[in-house]
Amino acid sequence: MPRVRPRRLRATPALRRAVSETRLHPSDLVLPIFVREGVDEPVAISSMPGVVQHTLDSVRGAVNEAAAAGIGGVMLFGVPEVRDAVGSGATDPDGILNLATRVVADEVGDALVVQTDLCLDEFTDHGHCGVLDAIGRVDNDATLERYREMALVQAASGSALLGLSGMMDGQVAAVREALDTSGFIDTAVLAYSAKYASAYYGPFREAVASTLQGDRRSYQLDPGNRREGLREAMIDIEEGADIVMVKPAGSYLDVLSDVAAASDVPVWAYQVSGEYAMIEAAAANGWIDRQRAVHESVVGIRRAGADTVLTYWATELAGWLNDGVVA
Ligand code: PBG
């Protein structure tokens, strides 16, 4: 007869609840939101069922709903009508992302942390996260100049937390310095520190209507590299990042765990478009229990060490938490 019986603590719902190690709370969730220029109605994103490109008007409803559900914040992405080589729309105060930031900041006040994607890929015609040099390579240091400009416009538009997702070397230090020397000392920096060159960003390309020439392997991390993910996070903390992030989440839980163990700043994770699409597709086919799979996927990311999770299910999942359907 076994002397040690771990099953004892699993016997009833009350016992299981009492010994649960990982609980979700709405404030641990951040909703990524797309806002598209030049449309009168929200546009569905076919590879992300349930997610839309918002208009400057419909985004108000989405953020009010998010605030009512008690989530932690929203991460805004702009979908511009026109793109060029240097991503001019990104630094235009009336560019779609900056306009949307003003609308959202005005709508929700302090109820949500208003965050913005600080990267050029939504705004460049070649789809890269930076500007290109004469022979078509992404030019790191010239891109840093564009990021500095973006940071100032985003901060002035009302973004409280800048999501640096471009994976250029020195981007955190460059943006921090630009913000500080222009008086934006309280605007925080979320560094997408360990951002891998991932196939899971696929549906995001449809979401921001952008096509990429080539690939991003010269600046995003190789999916096989674990130590390098930790190194990137440590560099970003050294450069002044207020929060570091691992992305994607589900396939990089070891990296997340390493970063969480070593970091003295909050650690976030981004459950990306492809992770969303896979569960939605399986659920639509009746192959998986949607609610349980969504919940479990986010619990796993929290358990691995994320303090906060960016997820397209943020508002819906917060609703389930508030209703006590999941914990
Ligand atoms: C860069 C950025 C991307 C995502 C977030 N910020 C795209 C990329 O690097 O290819 C992807 C998010 C997702 O797939 O959900 N602007």
The 10s digit of each residue's pLDDT in 75-124 is: 999 999 999 999 999 999 999 999 999 999 999 989 999 999 999 999 99
| 195 tagged catalytic | yes
pLDDT band at residue 251, thresholds of 50, 70 and 90? very high
3-state secondary structure of 13: helix
Fold of 25-323: TIM Barrel (3.20.20)
| ipTM at complex level | 0.96
Outline where 11-113 has alpha helix (H): 13-18, 58-69, 96-108
Q: Which residues contact 236 (CB under 8 A, 6 or more apart)?
A: 172, 191, 193, 244
117 CB within 6 A, ligand 1: yes
Cα gap 11→303, rounded to integer Å = 22
3-state secondary structure of 267: strand
3-state secondary structure of 232: helix
| 178 tagged catalytic | no
Cα gap 167→194, rounded to integer Å = 8
User: What is the sign, positive or negative, of the torsion defined by CA atoms of 227, 232, 238, 241?
Assistant: negative
pTM: 0.97
How remote is the CA of residue 197 from the centroid of ligand 1, in Å?
10
Cα gap 143→164, rounded to integer Å = 12
The 10s digit of each residue's pLDDT in 18-58 is: 999 999 999 999 999 999 999 999 999 999 999 999 999 99
Residue ranges per structural domain of the chain: 25-323
232 annotated as ligand-binding: yes
How many helices (H) and strands (E) would you count in the chain?
11, 10
119 CB within 6 A, ligand 1: yes
E strand map for the chain: 29-36, 43-44, 52-54, 73-79, 113-118, 161-164, 188-195, 243-247, 267-270, 308-310
182 annotated as ligand-binding: no
198 CB within 6 A, ligand 1: no
Phi, psi of 64 (to 5 degrees): -65, -40
Amino acid identity of residue 287, one-letter, is W
How remote is the CA of residue 201 from the centroid of ligand 1, in Å?
6
Check residue 243 and give left, alpha or beta (phi > 0: left; psi -120 to 50: alpha): beta
280 CB within 6 A, ligand 1: no
- In the 8-state DSSP scheme, what is residue 222? P
